[in-house]
Amino acid sequence: MMTREARLRFFFFMNSFGLLLLCLFVTPTSASAPHFNPALPSPASPAMPKEQAAKKETKTSTPVSTNSRDSIHISRDDRRKVIQRGKAKITERDMELLARLVYAEGRGEPYEGQVAIAAVVLNRVASSQFPNTVREVIYAPNAFSPLNDGHLSRTSNASTQKAVQDAVNGKDPTNGSLYFFNPKTATSRWIWSREQTVVIGNHRFAR
């Protein structure tokens, strides 16, 4: 038989246990997981891989134009001009260089002879046998006697400049010649072997 004191202890124990169970089932817990919104990045989430970040940046960035003309700026001196029959092009700077060569080679020649010298240079530019720029043709080794020392006088005049312009516009008194020489001073047997086309002033022109 349980004593009166033991019965009281058992009664209080059962009441306390029942109250604890009641609190567990009735009281809402604050440890529930927070609601996750997939549209917002988690502050604890790891950094986006570099490959994915690069792809995302590529998709959202403004497309770059593939038209090269949008990014190329040509200076006044570098603008191209079509030479005779559209076979070659030169710049205004090349025209000045050519006028200096015509002055060095033909300042004592008649105007037609000056046009002919310029035409020979332009014929070489248009020919597959020679370089395709005026500067390269003029400065080719042993191409013109005034450049034997590698330099060309900076002198030109209105006559040689006009002669170059006429040659650029298509005038060619040489009939397509690629060479010219002075028969009084020429010592090369090779140049004499070329087909001669016309004689203008002190120069003979040949193909």
pLDDT on residue 152: 87
Q: How confident is the model at residue 11 (pLDDT cuts 50, 70, 90)?
A: low
pTM of the full structure: 0.59
pLDDT on residue 26: 57
> What's the sign of the alpha-carbon dihedral 169, 89, 103, 159?
positive
pLDDT on residue 13: 67
pLDDT on residue 52: 46
pLDDT greater than 60 at residue 115: yes
pLDDT on residue 34: 43
pLDDT greater than 80 at residue 107: yes
pLDDT digits (tens, 9 = 90+) for 41-73: 433 334 444 444 444 444 444 333 333 323 223
Domains observed in the chain: 78-175 (1.10.10.2520)
pLDDT digits (tens, 9 = 90+) for 146-200: 886 677 889 999 999 999 999 999 999 999 999 999 999 998 999 999 999 999 9
pLDDT on residue 151: 78
Whole-number Å distance between alpha carbons of 27 and 21: 10
The continuous run of DSSP H or E covering 173 comes out as: none
pLDDT greater than 90 at residue 127: yes
Three-state SS at 71: coil
- Evaluate whether 101 touches 144 at the Cβ level (below 8 Å): yes
Whole-number Å distance between alpha carbons of 168 and 56: 54
Whole-number Å distance between alpha carbons of 106 and 112: 10
